[in-house]
Chain A
Amino acid sequence: KAGVTQTPRYLIKTRGQQVTLSCSPISGHRSVSWYQQTPGQGLQFLFEYFSETQRNKGNFPGRFSGRQFSNSRSEMNVSTLELGDSALYLCASSSLPNNREQYFGPGTRLTVT
């Protein structure tokens, strides 16, 4: 069974631009969560989608948004990029809305210059 995939793996953007990251969950998994990892703030929850609905959102500004498609693939978008948005963005999938285990993808390393 293929794992969680994320594209692109690396991205360099300039301040003020926007970016879209993609996550394909494990086949059959319907829940996708997104996390941001930075050296200063650690791992922080961004949001979670289940069956195309956002079920929970972390404490991030409105510049961070996401969506989920009918095939469970998810995208997250960051508009008006700031230097502080440089991070590793991880998505995780699980099979059920309140499952015990999440499986993480390899992450997208975003650098904002």
Chain B
Amino acid sequence: ELKVEQNPLFLSMQEGKNYTIYCNYSTTSDRLYWYRQDPGKSLESLFVLLSNGAVKQEGRLMASLDTKARLSTLHITAAVHDLSATYFCAFDGGATNKLIFGTGTLLAVQP
């Protein structure tokens, strides 16, 4: 069964702190995606990681992929309130455009 385990499910952090969200997936895949979702909104693409060892950074967010460990991380540096949202990781479930999503991590950044 294709599965994605994401943790933590909920993360409350103070502004200025650092933290990491973990995403483990169950099968070999060299494509891993990170999305952001604001309440009541759609999914916004953050990162597409296409190969082992891939690292991408955008502002205070940095994502990495270790295909051997089947692990991706999303690191938040010096969090700000605007980063409060739900973050999803997903991997490609086959030869078509089928994404298998994690449970999501609700991030609440407190002032």
At the interface, yes or no: B75 with Cβ under 8 Å from chain A? no
With A43-B88, A48-B97, A58-B98 known as contacts, the answer to whether A101 contacts B45 (CB < 8 A) is yes
**A103 adjacent to B45 (CB under 8 Å):** yes
Which residue of chain B has its CB nearest to the CB of A47? B98
Interface size on A, residues (CB 8 A): 26
Measured between alpha carbons, how far is A97 from B2 in the docked complex, in Å? 20
Do B98 and A48 touch across chains, with their CB atoms under 8 A apart? yes
Chain B positions 90 through 109: 1 when the CB is less than 8 Å from some CB of chain A, otherwise 0: 10011111111111100000
CB distance from B7 to the nearest CB of A (A): 14
Nearest chain A CB to B51 CB, angstrom units:
11
A90 and B98: CB pair below 8 A?
Answer: no
Q: Which of A35-88 contact B (CB under 8 A)?
A: 35, 42-45, 48, 50, 55-56, 58
Per-position binary interface string of chain A over residues 20-40, scored 1 when its CB falls under 8 Å from any chain B CB and 0 otherwise: 000000000001010100000
B97 touches A92 (CB 8 A): yes
Dominant SS among interface residues on chain B:
loop
Asked if A98 meets B96 with Cβ closer than 8 Å, knowing A42-B104, A43-B101, the reply is yes
Best-buried of A43, A44, A92, A100 by chain B (most CB within 10 Å): A43
CA distance A31 to B102 in the complex (A): 22
Measured between beta carbons, the chain B residues less than 8 angstroms from A104 are 35, 42-45
* Nearest 10 A/B pairs, CB to CB: A43-B101, A104-B43, A56-B96, A55-B96, A104-B42, A106-B42, A45-B98, A56-B98, A33-B97, A107-B42
Seen from chain A, the residues whose Cβ lies within 8 Å of a Cβ on chain B are: 31, 33, 35, 42-45, 48, 50, 55-56, 58, 90, 92, 94, 97-107
- 29 interchain pairs, CB-CB under 8 A: A31-B97, A33-B97, A33-B98, A33-B99, A42-B103, A43-B99, A43-B101, A43-B104, A48-B98, A50-B96, A55-B97, A56-B94, A56-B98, A58-B98, A90-B42, A90-B43, A94-B97, A97-B96, A97-B97, A98-B95, A99-B97, A101-B45, A102-B33, A102-B97, A104-B43, A104-B44, A104-B45, A106-B41, A106-B42
